A = this chain, B = another copy of it.
Amino acid sequence: MAARPALANHKGDVVVLFGDTPLLKPATIAATQAALTQSDVVAVGFEARDPSGYGRILRDARGQVVAIREHEDATEAESTVRFCNSGVMGFRSAHVLEILDAIGSANTKAEFYLTDAVTIARKKGLSVGSVSTDETETQGVNDRAQLAAVEADYQARKRAEIMAGGTTLIAPETVFFSCDTEVGQDVVIEPFVVFGPGVTVGNNVIIRAFTHIVGADRKVTTGAKIAEGVELGPFSRLRPGAEVGKGVHVGNFVEVKNAVLEAGAKVNHLTYIGDARVGAGANIGAGTITCNYDGFNKHHTDIGAGAFIGSNSALVAPVKIGDGAIIGAGTVVTKDVAADALALTRAPQEERPGWAAKFRTMMARRKK
């Protein structure tokens, strides 16, 4: 009745859903609407493995619902009925308000029972049909343990779909998908992989263990796109806005955020790529950091096609590395680098002969 203003102006069907049954499938709602073309009211039930405790949906010989009987009120014969009430109901809007208005709270709990709608509709000479769904769809969540159980059921369903779609999961029970995860053909996913929202994976991709991919969040809605032939992980993390081109390799202890990695780029070790473009075929050495944040704003790093970034380099954004440029190991790049140039920042290597031996002797003495 809280929705009376909305219902008053509504012309189409009304389906009553519950906030605590997240596994209900769109197909079941569609079936309820379809049944409303035949009946004024529709009750959605399921064949219970064990009906104890559930309200039974009682039907006559023609399949019309005559009542929903609470477990404690059921006769012995009614108790043998396994078709149970999910709670979900459909109404033609023409009748919904008059039926809801007729529901009273004159019962021991002083609550308004939606199930009374069946008897009320029947008294008004309206037809009450039913739709059958799977028991798992109707599971209600009352606490965190039940939420976890429902999540587990959903994951099992999604994993089965993903495998049927042509993806190899070495250990399906260790891979967690979002409802919108899309995975291509002939993809292999190792154990221990987590997909957050907004991830699309192309064909022939390999995702190794301990990979964590979130494509979208409240700020970024473009998602993460992983193109054909990409190799990810182990220990890769992709964050919102990662666009990983054809044949790219992203390796261990690498984080990619809001960045485009163009075809064939390699970012294999201990690297942070944020707010950047990595050109086609570029090679990013181990330990490279795009320094995208100055404490106030985020800045962009542009790395040209075929560039080679030496290990342990820091690229201080905003900065542009030209196509084919080479950055020496350990360089802090603060100015743009021309295409095909070598750039480096390096103090000369000093050596102090015997210093280490003397240091050890001194430290050993101190310890005594």
Give me the interface of A with B, judged by CB distance under 8 Å.
143-145, 147-148, 151-152, 155, 160, 163-164, 166-174, 176, 190-192, 194, 208-210, 212, 234-235, 237, 251-253, 255, 269-272, 283, 285-287, 289, 291, 293-297, 308, 310-314, 316, 324-326, 328-335, 337-338, 340-357, 359-360, 363, 366-367
Establish whether residues B171 and A145, one from each chain, have CB atoms under 8 Å apart when the complex forms.
Answer: no
By a CB distance below 8 angstroms, the chain B residues around A152 are: 171, 173
Establish whether residues A349 and B324, one from each chain, have CB atoms under 8 Å apart when the complex forms.
Answer: no
Query: What CA separation (Å) do A107 and B11 show in the bound complex?
Result: 61
Which of A170, A333, A342 counts the most B-chain CB atoms under 10 A from its CB?
Answer: A342
By a CB distance below 8 angstroms, the chain B residues around A283 are: 293, 295
User: Which one of B168, B329, B347 contacts A144 once the chains associate, using CB atoms below 8 Å?
Assistant: B168
Query: What CA separation (Å) do A299 and B167 show in the bound complex?
Result: 37
A176 nearest in chain B by CB position: B191
Query: What CA separation (Å) do A235 and B213 show in the bound complex?
Result: 12
Q: How many copies does the complex hold?
A: 3
Extra A-B contacts (10), CB below 8 Å, given A144-B167, A272-B287, A289-B312:
A144-B163, A148-B169, A148-B170, A269-B289, A295-B326, A295-B363, A296-B366, A326-B359, A328-B332, A332-B349
Query: What CA separation (Å) do A308 and B357 show in the bound complex?
Result: 11
Q: Say whether, besides A285-B289, A324-B357, A163 and B143 are in contact (CB < 8 Å).
A: yes
Query: What CA separation (Å) do A329 and B313 show in the bound complex?
Result: 10
By a CB distance below 8 angstroms, the chain B residues around A176 are: 170-171, 191
- Shortest distance between the CB of A340 and any CB in chain B (Å): 4
Which of A208, A349, A366 counts the most B-chain CB atoms under 10 A from its CB?
Answer: A349
